[in-house]
Structure 1
Amino acid sequence: MTVADLPKIELHLHHEGAAPPAFIRQLAHEKKMDLSGIFKPDGSYDFRDFAHFLSVYEAASEVLTGPEEFRRLTLAILEESAANGVVYSETFLSPDFCGGGDVAAWRDYLAAIQDAANEAEAKLGITLRGVVTCVRHFGSEKAKASAICAAETAGDWIVGFGMGGNEGVGRQGDFAWSFDCAREAGLRLTTHAGEFGGPESVRDAVRDLQVERVGHGVRAIESADLVHELQDRGTVLEVCPGSNVVLGLYPNFAAHPIARLRDAGVKVTVSTDDPPFFHTTMRREYEMLAQAFDWSEQDFADLNATALEAAFCDEDTRARVKKRLEMT
């Protein structure tokens, strides 16, 4: 068995961003929508930089206009994840794309997504849980509607709350009300920081929002004091190396700071972010990391143990996933 064949846990996956381009093209064809401008001639997503990526992401999401589309999307995502050895995944779901922040509509979308997740678990042995996310560049007021949707549906399946989007818009603290709302509902917290925002954005995330996980967080490596703070706090970074390389944060996997962060005692995990956009899979992430850092099967087992401990699921689910990890 190679490291790429190992069972895997993924904690940082954007639901719409995981949509296979062929799936989006097919839906657009069915609905007679022209999305040709977001694809390259080979059929893959076409974007220039991070800002353009966000525009293409949102354009592709426009074809997803009802619960049935999200049910179909969820099955497509989980089939791909399971084919790459993922046994447990947490997906970022935004009420902005699922009913526009209306709680009743959100419940309908969520029911369809959960139905598909249950079907995939029965057929493929992959468990999915949802982390509701607000979109930073949509503003703090719209974030409150997402937080209310999250709080109203918190439970065994919706297990967390977070924030994605453009780190250049506003500050983490601007969204404190939404994170407090989610926390009071019993949800666990994560937020994107330290991707295009520098180390100060990670510091703001852990201090102002009191999150236990940080999406990306890799720019923390630029501050020794922050690295020590993350170690002391036990903050877990949801690292997406392939995404960081494609978007130009680092020139290649060997230059990526995941190994340095891990060696410094920071808890790191591995995910794909928006896999079809970045031409990656969990298998490829493992292969490239093994090649770049000469990581062994034990190194990846340790990464998965960190991810399992950091997962927002309940203890019964954690125990079930642990057994799947041990079936190698």
Structure 2
Amino acid sequence: MPNALPAAIDRLRALPKAEVHAHLEGCFDPGLLEQWASQAGTPMPRPREHLFEFEGLADFLHFLDWACSLASTRERLAELSYGYSQRLADAGAGYADVIVNPTHWPAWRARLPDMVDAIDAGLRAAEQDGLPPVGLCVSVLRTQSSDAAAELVDTLVALRHPRVVALSIDGNEAAAGRTGPRFADAFRRAGAAGLRRTVHAGESSGPEGVRDAITLLGADRIDHGVRAIEDPELVALLVDRQIPLGICPTSNLKLGVYARIEDHPIDRLRRAGVAVSINTDDPVLLGASLVDEYALCAKVFGWSDDDLRALARNSVDASFANAEIKARLIHALARW
């Protein structure tokens, strides 16, 4: 492929792009966690230098619950949210949809409006300081009940907070089993109320999870979705309906979905015509930088500047940003 040498890091940072698959739960700096744990008198699960060494997805999710328990005040949650916007700006991104799952945050249970308001305070402060805008995707946990999902949707619809752009679902697919039928009604009602729908699928589950996300949950976007590569008919369905995948290569490697980056199907999915984008998932906890994700894939898969521009365009198109933000990013992308 011509012009296939890896682009320089500074050029990738300058590439106009969005991030559409990142979790606020995955943005805790270890120093901040150590400080908050000390203040709370809570022991660290591991020494600071080994804090982010996980044995697998279950261990990782358990750690998230511990970390989120420390963000017990409005100020801490706002500080964490502001920090994500800073990280986004450092990567040269112009917008992000960030996911938050209320079940991970014990101090905020049954206080979703207050939680959204605290996150919004941090993100508004960031925007006022010139940092990129961020939309909020509020997530159901896969092990919750259909009643809990319905209650979440009712709350979001009544709240109608301008920061909230989507209903999401996440959690360990392998542990929860098939859950699409359980949440179909909640996602249908969310869509009817004007919320976008983004669904974790095809990570620890096979392609059947991706198919359920499309046919039962009406997904506008799928988070991960990489296991779709195992079903050619499903790949064709993604292409036909132009349902984008928010792919996180380093996350898939560190959490054991694939052993080597060379085995990762992101390039095969791209070549098949699927609208894939590059994201960090849980950036701090997994040591994933958006710029480094682009650089890694460009090097391994021999992507040209045109390929990189197309992938960045996918990220903008797949985002839930408003038309003005998308137009600005697309205009800047054409000049890169």
Task: Look up the match of 2:115.
Answer: 109
Which whole-Å deviations, capped at 9, do the CAs of 1:117-142 have from their partners, x for residues lacking one? 12212324311111111111233333
Task: Look up the match of 1:137.
Answer: 143
Aligned pairs for 1:210-229 (under 5 A) are: 210-229=218-237
Task: Look up the match of 2:5.
Answer: none
- Could you say what the CA RMSD is over the residues aligned between the two structures, in angstroms? 1.9
| Equivalent residue in structure 2 for 1:150, among 138, 156, 159 | 156
Instruction: Supply the AA of the counterpart residue of 1:280.
Output: A
CA distance in 2: counterparts of 1:75 and 1:27, whole angstroms = 17
Q: Say which SS state the counterpart of residue 156 (structure 1) adopts.
A: coil
Q: What is the CA-CA distance between 1:324 and the residue it aligns to?
A: 5.0
When residues 116 and 325 of structure 1 are mapped into structure 2, their CA distance, relative to the original with a 3 A threshold, is farther
Q: What is the CA-CA distance between 1:28 and the residue it aligns to?
A: 1.5
Contact 1:46 1:56 survives alignment (8 Å): no
Task: Look up the match of 2:257.
Answer: 249
Q: Does 1:63 align with 2:66?
A: no
Task: Look up the match of 1:260.
Answer: 268
Task: Look up the match of 1:92.
Answer: 99
When residues 309 and 30 of structure 1 are mapped into structure 2, their CA distance, relative to the original with a 3 A threshold, is same
Highest RCO, 1 vs 2 (Cα 8 Å, sep ≥ 6):
2
Normalising by structure 2, we get a TM-score of 0.90
Q: How many residues align?
A: 324
Task: Look up the match of 1:72.
Answer: 79
Task: Look up the match of 1:199.
Answer: 207
Aligned pairs for 1:117-128 (under 5 A) are: 117-128=123-134
Which consecutive residues of structure 2, in runs of 5 or more, have no partner in the other structure? 1-9
Which whole-Å deviations, capped at 9, do the CAs of 1:186-229 have from their partners, x for residues lacking one? 00111100001001111111011111211100000001111111
Q: Does 1:305 align with 2:309?
A: no
Task: Look up the match of 2:41.
Answer: 32
Which whole-Å deviations, capped at 9, do the CAs of 1:268-307 have from their partners, x for residues lacking one? 1111000122211101101101111111232221112112
Q: Say which SS state the counterpart of residue 88 (structure 2) adopts.
A: helix
Q: What is the CA-CA distance between 1:240 and the residue it aligns to?
A: 0.6
Instruction: Supply the AA of the counterpart residue of 2:156.
Output: A
When residues 29 and 197 of structure 1 are mapped into structure 2, their CA distance, relative to the original with a 3 A threshold, is same
Q: What is the CA-CA distance between 1:66 and the residue it aligns to?
A: 2.8
Contact 2:17 2:315 survives alignment (8 Å): no
Percentage of pairs with the same residue: 32
Instruction: Supply the AA of the counterpart residue of 2:97.
Output: E
With 309-318 and 285-294 compared, the bigger mean Cα shift is at 309-318
Instruction: Supply the AA of the counterpart residue of 1:68.
Output: E
When residues 101 and 29 of structure 1 are mapped into structure 2, their CA distance, relative to the original with a 3 A threshold, is closer
CA distance in 1: counterparts of 2:77 and 2:108, whole angstroms = 14
CA distance in 1: counterparts of 2:156 and 2:328, whole angstroms = 25
Q: Say which SS state the counterpart of residue 242 (structure 1) adopts.
A: helix
CA distance in 1: counterparts of 2:142 and 2:193, whole angstroms = 21
CA distance in 1: counterparts of 2:124 and 2:335, whole angstroms = 21
Q: Does 1:9 align with 2:18?
A: yes
Instruction: Supply the AA of the counterpart residue of 2:134.
Output: L
Q: What is the CA-CA distance between 1:4 and the residue it aligns to?
A: 4.4
Q: Say which SS state the counterpart of residue 3 (structure 1) adopts.
A: helix
Q: Say which SS state the counterpart of residue 102 (structure 2) adopts.
A: coil
Q: Say which SS state the counterpart of residue 218 (structure 2) adopts.
A: coil
Which consecutive residues of structure 1, in runs of 5 or more, have no partner in the other structure? none
CA distance in 2: counterparts of 1:130 and 1:171, whole angstroms = 23
Q: What is the CA-CA distance between 1:67 and the residue it aligns to?
A: 2.2
Q: What is the CA-CA distance between 1:5 and the residue it aligns to?
A: 4.0
